[in-house]
Amino acid sequence: MTPVLITGAGAVSCLGVGVPAMWKALCAAPEIRPRPAADPGARMRLPLIHPAPAEPGTDGRATRLALTAAREAIVDAGLTSSECARAPVVLGTGGGNADHWERPLAAARPAPPGFTVAAALATAIGSGAGATCVSNACAAGGFALAIAADLIRTGEAEVVVAGGAEAYSRVALACFNRMGAVDARACRPFHRDRAGTVFGEGAAVFVLETADHARRRGVRHAYARLAGSGWSCDAHHLTAPEPAGSQIRRAMTDALDEAGATTGTVGCVVPHGTGTRLNDVVESQALGAVFGDHAAHLPVYSLKALIGHTAGAAGALGALAAALMLDHGTVPPNAPLGPEQDPHCPVNLPQGPSQPLTGRHILVNAFAFGGNNVSLVLEGSAA
Amino acid sequence: MRADTLVVTGIGVVSPWGNDPAKLDLRTPADADEDWFDVVSELGPRGYKYVPPGCRYLIAATRRALRDAGDAVTRIPEPRRGMAVGTENGIAGLIDAMDETVTTAGADRLSPATAPYFSVNTLAGRVAMEHGIKGWNLTLTSPRAAGLQALQAGSRAYAAGRCDLLLAGSTEAALPSHHSGHSASDAGAAVLVLEPRAAAAARGAALHGTCATATFFLAPLLASGTPAPDALRTTAEALARVTPARHRNIHPPVRLIAEPSPVATRLLSQLRTLGLRTDFLPAGSGTLLPVLHIAHGLTAPGPPHIVATASPDGTCALTAVHPQPPTDPTLETR
Amino acid sequence: MTPHHTAIDIEELRATIAETLELDPEEVTDDARFVEDLGADSLLALEMQVVLEEDYGVHLTEDDLRRTTTLRAAHALLVARTTQGGTVS
C-alpha cells in the first residue's frame, strides 16, 4: 500500500502558535486553567474555554486558526506554489465559523456561510485541486486526515493539505452546558471526579504526500507516516457511547490492521478521552480489549488534559502529538493525576519525566456525537 | 483498491417539488417555507417531536431510497454499511433559534432533548441508528458542493474497502426568515443507495444508473481577474476523471447549478471553452439542488449528462450521471 | 397552562408529561417509571425538568430529578414545592 508521509505540520492552540511551541509545552506539561469566554452573549453556567491566539482579520475565527496552521505546514514542508496548486484541501471542523453563522449580537451584521474553512485554505495556498469541509463533530479532524490518506492511496492526489480547526461556538458550549457535560474545573480525562469536558480552540494542519512525491522534490524530513485508519459508527445514541464499545474497538483494530501494526508494535495511544464520565470508561475498557495484556503497560498520552477538547481539531491535534512523539522518540509526561485516577479507567498515564517511546506505531482516537468514530495509526518514518 | 463500479439501486427524495424523483419540476421555483412536508404521514405519529426538519427530511428520504432499493440493506452486515451526507444549512435555523434562547433567556432554557442536534453530524447519525449503519458515517459541509462531495467521498471510501453498501445524498432546511438567503433556501433531502454492480446483479436489483464525481477549486480572487493558466486544465482534468476515455468524444451536456458569482462565471466559460453545451441554473441556498438534479436524471433512460456546481467561495464539483439503460449501446460498460 | 397553581391537577400533569415523552396520556399511568417503563433517556428526563419548571414555576434540582421517577412522584414533588411557596415565574 502507498505509504503516506507527513512532511509538514502547523499548529495553534492554547499552547500558542507553532509546532515547536506545542512540543515544548507538551514536554513541560504546565497546568492551564480554562477561562470564561470573552462573549457577552454567553448566558450559561460554565462558559469555559481554552482560547487560542487567532490571527487578526475579517475571516471567521475557525478559518483564521486554520490559516495560521496551514501557512506553517506549507513552509515547513517547503511546498512550492505549483505543488500547492495540485494539493486538495480536506479540513475537519465541527462548527465551522460559528462566529459568522450564529445569530450576530449586532443584528444588522450579515451572516455569511459558516463552513468555508476548507475553501479559505484552498484560496490562501493557491490550490486548484479541491476543498472539502468535513464536519463529523469531534471526529472531524481525524476523518479529514483519513480521507486525505485515502485520496493519496486511491491515486487521486500525490500531495494533500489536511487537518482540523475549531473555534469557540456559543451554541455548542451552551448545549454542552444544558446537557450537563461541562466540568466546572478543567478537562480531566480519566479523573475520578471528572464531570464533563472543557472545550479548547485550535487547529492542526499537515502536508501529506507519497514517498515518491517527497523524493522527487528532495524532502529530507518526514515526521511520520499516516499508516492506517479505521472508521466506524455506533448507530446507538446521538450523544451516549455504545456501552460495550464494539464499534470503537473495530475502528481501532481496523486502523491497526491497515497499518500492519500489532498490539506489540504500538508504543503509545493518544485517546479520545474527553473527561465525560461514561466515554472515558468505555474507551478504557475498549483499549483493554484491543491491547489485552499489553494494555497495562501501554503509555496513554492524554492531550486533552493539557489543551482541552478541541472538537473538530482534536483528531488532528492528537495526530500531531503522535507525529511529534514518533519524530522525537519520546512520550511527554501526562498532566498529573496521581492517586485521583478513576479505577474504572485503568489506563497507563505516565506522569513525571518524559520517557522514551518504545514501539514504532502510535494509535490516535477521535470519537464524536452521532457515534462517529475514527482511529488513526501513525508510524515512525525511520521504521 | 476495488475496481468494481458502484451502481445506483435506490433513490429517495422529499422536496417542495414533491417526493417522486421522476416528477421533479426543478426549473420552477418552490417555496421552502410551504408546509410541504407532513411529518406524521412520512415518518409516523411519534418519535420526531425533538428532531429538527433537516433530520426529518433525511430520515424520510433514506426510508424512501431503501424501499426503492428492495432488500439491499438487509443483505449487508451492519459494519459494512456506510453513509455520506452533504449539508450546509441543515441545522442553520435550529442554531439560530438556540442562539436566540442562549443570548436572551440563557442556556438553561434550551430544550435538552433537542440539544444534541447543535452538531450537524447528528442528522446522519440519527439515520445511522435507524438502519444499523455501523460501517461509518460522514458529514460534509462545503457550501453548494457538499452533496456531490458526499457522493465522491462515499465512493472513495467504497473503493478503499470501507463498505459494501453506500448511502449518499444531501439534506437541507430553510434558513431563518431574517436571513438574506432565506427566500432561496434549499429544503428537503435526496438519498441514493449505491452498491457494487456484481452485488446488484446477483440479487437481481433494478438499476437506475451510475454516477462519478470530481471536485476542484477555482480561487475566487483569480476567478474574474487575471487569467489563471492552470484553471482551465484543472477543470478539464476534473471532467476527464468522471468521463471514461471511450466517452471523451460524446461531450455530454452540463447543467451548472450555481448562484451568479465570479467563480460560476469562470466555470461556465471554461465548460463552454471545452466544447460542452452548458445550461446555467440558479442554485438554492444549500447543497441539495444539484443532488435533486442527479436523482431526477437517474429516473429516466437518457444520454449521459453532467451536473455541476460552483460555490462563490471557489469550491466546484461535477458529477457525471449515466442513467440506466444507456440509449447508445456503445456506452455499455463492459 | 397557567403557572400559578396551588393545587396541582394530576390529569393536567399527566397530559404534560405524555406530551413531553411523546406518549398517549393513558400510557403514563400513575406508577409507570419514566426510564424503565416508558423509555425516557437522560436527555428526555432533563427535558421534563425544563418543562415542569416552566409550567409550574418551580426550581428542580438534580436530586429532585432523580427522585421524580413516576407521575405519582412528580405530582407529590410539585405539590410540595408549590405549597411551600416555591418561586413563581
Interval A313-360: pLDDT, tens: 999 999 999 999 999 999 999 998 878 999 999 999 999 899 999 999
Q: Which three cell numbers stand for residue A289?
A: 480489549
- Is A236 considered catalytic here? no
- Amino acid residing at A190: F
A344 is catalytic: no
Find, in chain C, the residue whose alpha carbon is nearest to that of B44: C22
Query: A145 and A231, same structural domain?
Result: no
Bridge partners (DSSP) of residue A12 are: A17, A203
Q: Which CATH number fits domain B211-331: 1.10.3470, 3.30.450, 3.30.70, 3.40.47?
A: 3.40.47
Q: Quick one: A230 and A212 in the same domain?
A: no
Contact A140, A47 (CB under 8 A): no
Min mean pLDDT across A53-62, A104-113, A199-208, C24-33 is at A104-113
- For chain B, which chains pass the contact test of at least 3 CB pairs under 8 Å? A, C
Contact in structure between B169 and B186 (CB atoms under 8 Å): no
- Which of the following is catalytic: A14, A84, A133, A138? A138
Asked if A238 and A159 sit in the same domain, the reply is no
Angle in degrees, 0-180, between the axes of helices A170-178 and B92-103, rounded to the nearest 10 = 70
Chain C residues within an 8 Å CB radius of B40: none
CA-to-CA dists, residue A361 to A20, A161, A261, angstroms: 22, 22, 7
The alpha carbon of residue B116 is apart from the nearest alpha carbon of chain C, in Å, by 9
For chain C, strand residue ranges (E) read none
Is residue B255 a contact partner of residue B293, using CB atoms and an 8 Å limit?
Answer: yes
* Environment class of B301 (CB within 10 Å of its CB; exposed 0-12, middle 13-18, buried 19+): exposed
Q: Specify whether A212 is located in the same domain as A247.
A: no
Looking at residue A182, the DSSP 8-state letter turns out to be B
- Residue C88 dihedral angles phi and psi, to the nearest 5°: -105, 125
Supply B320's cell numbers: 457525471
Domain spans of chain B, in order of start: 6-202, 211-331
CATH for B6-202 is 3.40.47.10
Is residue A206 located within the same domain as residue A284?
no
Is residue A120 a part of any domain in this protein?
yes
Closest CA to A51 of A14, A94, A19, A93: A14
Instruction: Kindly state whether residues A177 and A245 are assigned to the same domain.
Output: no
Q: CB neighbours (10 Å) of residue C33?
A: 13
Q: Give the nearest partner residue to B141 out of A44, A135, A238, using CB atoms.
A: A135
Percent of chain B with pLDDT over 90: 80
Q: Would you place residue A104 in the very low, low, confident or very high pLDDT band (cuts 50, 70, 90)?
A: low
DSSP B185: B
Q: Is residue C43 within 8 angstroms of chain A, CB to CB?
A: yes
Provide DSSP, B274-315. TT--EEEE---BSSHHHHHHHHHHTSS----EEEEEE-TTSE
> Does C5 score more than 50 pLDDT?
no
- Calpha distance B310→B267 (Å, rounded): 8
More confident residue, B175 or A248: A248
Is residue A83 classed as helix, strand or coil in its secondary structure? helix
CATH number at residue A163: 3.40.47.10
Q: Are residues A282 and A164 in the same domain?
A: no
Domains identified in chain C and CATH numbers? 10-83 (1.10.1200.10)
Q: Is residue A221 part of a domain?
A: no
Instruction: Domain of residue A195: give its range.
Output: 4-216
Cell (9 digits) for B65: 431510497
pLDDT tens column, A116-166: 999 999 999 999 999 999 999 999 999 999 999 999 999 999 999 999 999
A187 annotated active-site: no
Could you tell me which chain A residue has the CA closest to the CA of C44?
A: A179
Alpha helix positions (H), B107-224: 122-131, 146-159, 197-202, 220-223
Q: Which of C22, C43, C54 sits opposite B115 (nearest CB)?
A: C43
Put residue A241 in one of left, alpha, beta given phi > 0 → left and psi -120 to 50 → alpha.
beta
β-strands A361-368, A266-270 pairing: parallel
* H/E segment holding residue B139: strand B136-140
Substitution target from A83, A127, A135, A143 for chain B, most B beta carbons within 10 A: A135
- Of the ranges A241-255, B18-32, B122-136, B196-210, which one carries the lowest mean pLDDT score? B18-32
> Catalytic pick from A50, A191, A213, A272?
A272
Strands A35-36 and A372-380: unpaired
Chain A residue closest in CA terms to C62: A180
Nearest partner of A73 among A137, A163, A154, A150, judged by Cα: A163
Does residue A302 share a domain with residue A169? no
| pLDDT reported for residue A261 | 97
Q: Is residue A150 part of a domain?
A: yes
Query: Strands, DSSP E only, in chain A?
Result: 4-13, 16-17, 35-36, 48-49, 89-92, 131-134, 159-166, 202-210, 224-233, 266-270, 330-331, 355-356, 361-368, 372-380
Q: Check CB contact under 8 Å for B119 and A178.
A: no
The question of ipTM being above 0.95 is answered as: yes
Do residues B219 and A84 touch, judged by C-beta distance below 8 A?
no
CA–CA distances in Å: residue B98 to residues B22, B107, C58:
37, 8, 23
Cβ within 8 Å, pair A132-B215: yes
Please state, in angstroms and rounded to a whole number, the distance separating the CA atoms of residues B80 and B68: 20
Question: Do A157 and A110 share a structural domain?
Answer: yes
Q: How many CA atoms lie within 13 A of A283 on its CB side?
A: 30
Cell match 498490539: residue? A263
Same domain (yes/no): A102, A171: yes
pLDDT band at residue B243, thresholds of 50, 70 and 90?
A: confident
A167, A274: one domain: no
Decide if C43 and A180 are in contact by the 8 Å CB cutoff: no
CA distance B261 to B171: 23
Interface residue of A91, A115, A249 to substitute, partner B, most B CBs within 10 Å: A115
C49 contacts on B by Cβ (under 8 Å)? 112
Kindly state whether residues A288 and A200 are assigned to the same domain. no
- Give residues with Cβ within 8 angstroms of B189, minimum separation 6: B12, B13, B14, B15, B54, B57, B58, B60, B61, B62, B169, B170, B171, B172, B288
CA distance to partner chain B, nearest, from residue A256 (Å): 14
Q: How far does C38 lie from chain A, in Å, by closest CA? A: 17
